[in-house]
Every structure is written in C-alpha cells, then in structure tokens.
Structure 1
C-alpha cells in the first residue's frame, strides 16, 4: 500500500529511497539537503510527510532490484531495526530479556544494497551492530537537545568525519535512584524523568508527529541533512 502527502517539490532533485522510514525524520533532513524522498515502512505511518510504501523494506528493495525500478533512485538510506544489538539491549539489559526477540537485519540489508550498485547509508546506534562507523553524528554537533549518537556506514561514497563536540552536561533523568538534571533529554522509553512529547519534539527538531514511539525511534533530521549535503558535495566534486 502506498500513501502520499502533498509536499512542495522542485524539478531535477535526485530521488532517495528511505528504507525503514518510520515517520520520515531522517528523510526530512535529506529533503532539506536537496533530495526528493520515497519511504518504505512495514507499518502505515500517516505522519510521514513523503510518499510512503507500506511493505517489508527488504522485500520491497528486492522487488525494485528484480524489476529494474531501482534505477529511478540516486541514493538509498537504510535504518534497519536496531533493538537486537544496540547499547540498550546488550550486557545486563540483555539478561533481562531486552532485545531477545529481535532479528539483526544489518547483514541482509547490506547484501541487498550492494546489489543495487547505488551509493547508500546504513544507520545504527551505538552498540554491537556490525557496521563500519565511517561517520558518527551527535545532537550536540547541531545544537539539539538530545545526544543521540548514531553511526553510519557509507557504501560507494565517502565523507570527511566531523569533529565530535564535547557534551555540555548530563542527560536529564533518573540514574540508580538519583535524579540528574542536564541540557539533554532521554529520547527513549517512558520511565521516570523522561521528556514529554513536546519536549521530545523541540529537542529533536521534529514538529510533524506527536506519536511518542515515532519520536523515540527517530533519527534527527539534522543528521540526514548533513549526510545529504555531504553526499551531494561529494558527487559535485567527482563531476568537476
């Protein structure tokens, strides 16, 4: 199933395929950088501001490859589910059952992306996900109210690693029975000290969804804009 929302588009913009798109947060960043965006997610996401195909992302990608329709796209971004090996579900938390029912989709995602022959990005949080950490971005680099470290493997292109900025303080919330204040909110879960929806929206730079799950799963648009601008600059240099 595909649904679309009317958004302003400009001619001659490269087309990006956003796999595991959720509410279109990182896609919004790529759009700001200069791409048109088609999203794919297994769940219908009415808040996603772009054309969205509701399907299994890897099945849809395989179909695009088999039919040749992948040739419409200039770039692919993939954020496969991270619960299996992210920092929140390894170690002690794993022993409590966190992440135990999730499947690691990084390897099959990469295999299909390689078949496309297109430049791509695979995104994962800190943890044990088996990706190259070609680029690591942090909310502090963009003046956001979250830290939100995210790692990115770049396929068939490269970019200079940005300098990581020192954090201004702690993440607000309870730790081991003690409350700590700080300039950042914890963009995950629902426990004590977690931000309100409006605080999450402000901290992440996301205004078009008020669904907590979509906000806590989101990659800040600023990250996508940085990646998109870096890729377009890379292609312009190659063409010069």
Structure 2
C-alpha cells in the first residue's frame, strides 16, 4: 500500500498589518486593481495609480491614461516608482495557443525602463518569472509569506536594495483543482485563467490577500499585497535614511 502524502500547513502573518504613514509618495504604473498598490500603502506610502484601462476597484488615487506619458510628465514628483507593464510579449513561459499569439502584443519593457531612468528617481519593474530582457534582482513566491499561491514574480530594481527572503521548498504543497481529467486536492490555489475547477472567488481572494475586488480577471493578473509590503518596507527605510542624511548634511 502506498503511503499517505501529508500537506504542509501554512502559517500566515496577521493581515492587514497596522499602517503608519511615512510621508513618501509612490507612483504605481500599470496598476490594475491595486494588488501591488495595497502593499505599498500598508508600508506607509501615499500611492497614486495609473492604468490605460478603467480600474473602478482601485482603492487609491487613480489616473486613467498612458502610463509612459504620465511618468514622463509627472514621475519626478514622486519619491519612488513601481511598474508592472504587460508581460505577454516578453514572457518565455507562454505556451500552447498563447505562444502563437505573442506577436500580437507589443513589448513595453524597454520603453518603461527608459522612461523610468529619465525621472532620476529610484524604481522597480515587476514581471512574471520567465520574462526575457530583464534582470532578476529579487524573486518572490507566495510561500515566503504564508500565502496559498505560488505566484512567482521577479523584480528589476534601480537605486534600490531589497532583501531576498529564503525560498521555502514546494515539497508537501499541491495546487488544488482539475488536471488531466481528474480532481487533485491540495493546500494551494490556482489563481489564473477562467477559474473552472480552480476555486471560488472567495478562495481566490483569501489566497491572494485581496478583498476589495471580486473580478476573476483582475485577481488573476494581480500580485499579492504581501509582496509589495515586503518591498515597500525596505524602500521606505532606505528613502527615509537618505532624506535624513541630506537634511543633516
């Protein structure tokens, strides 16, 4: 008889954490529904989001428009800039029918980087793991924060330093849902696609730590706020030290 597979029990920190405003402004480009923005907000930043599409669920100051035009005009007004440009043209993990459609998407990665460099402000770019033509200065996974999603994301940093958390083993964790004609139980949630057999909206919300939107599309595209909270705390500490040093000089 085969042995019984035991799933690892995740321990998640209390959520949301207490917030202390830090007086710093962060520009959230290609912001979507605000998964990243919420983490930066909880880290103390005053957050402003920009997206080409309407984002009625975005919980902070929002401007609808071209993100690159906005950052060229207003980027210098912020202390730090975070960007998550569309990844379809650059992600090397795209497979199957989506791979054949990659040519339909225009890469904005180089243009985003160029626009950010001109601002003279520290910045970061977030993309799925497997995105070509960018450095991986930081890698984050949901297991690092006790979340029920793997959701690996890589970050390119400029003028910033963020500690790399230890990456827990995936052994003992299994994604719940239908695969290859049968249902698999597990402790992890598949937050992507149309959601068929992958979990309910409340399960998706709980797995991601996102409660303010119930749209499958926006949840599937978001990053968990725990990621940007980790980043935001490091950014705030470094920026505040820098400001204090300049004032003392």
Fold-level similarity (TM above 0.5): yes
Give per-residue Cα distances to partners, 1:153-197, cap 9 Å, x unaligned: 111121232211112412122333343221111111015422211
Q: How many residues align?
A: 225
Distance 2:209 2:103 in 1: 31
Which residue does 1:175 correspond to in 2?
A: 179
Q: Secondary structure at the match of 2:102?
A: coil
Counterpart of 1:48 in structure 2 is: 58
Deviation at 1:94, TM superposition (A): 4.3
Alignment RMSD (CA, Å): 2.0
Tell me which of 81, 85, 102 is aligned to 1:80: 85
What residue number does 1:141 align with? 144
Following superposition, the deviation at residue 227 of structure 1 comes to: 0.5
The 5 A counterparts of 1:161-172 are 161-167=164-170, 168-172=172-176
Q: TM-score, normalised by structure 1?
A: 0.86
CA shift at 1:57, angstroms? 0.8
Equivalent residues in 2 for 1:84-233 (5 A)?
84-86=89-91, 88-90=93-95, 92-95=96-99, 97-167=100-170, 168-190=172-194, 192-233=196-237
Distance in 1 of aligned mates of 2:118 and 2:165:
29
Structure 1: runs of 5+ lacking an equivalent: 1-8, 65-69
8 A Cα contact 2:33 2:55, kept in partner: yes
Q: CA separation in 2, counterparts of 1:28 and 1:11?
A: 13
Q: Which structure would you say has the larger Rg? A: 2
SS in 2 for 1:225: helix
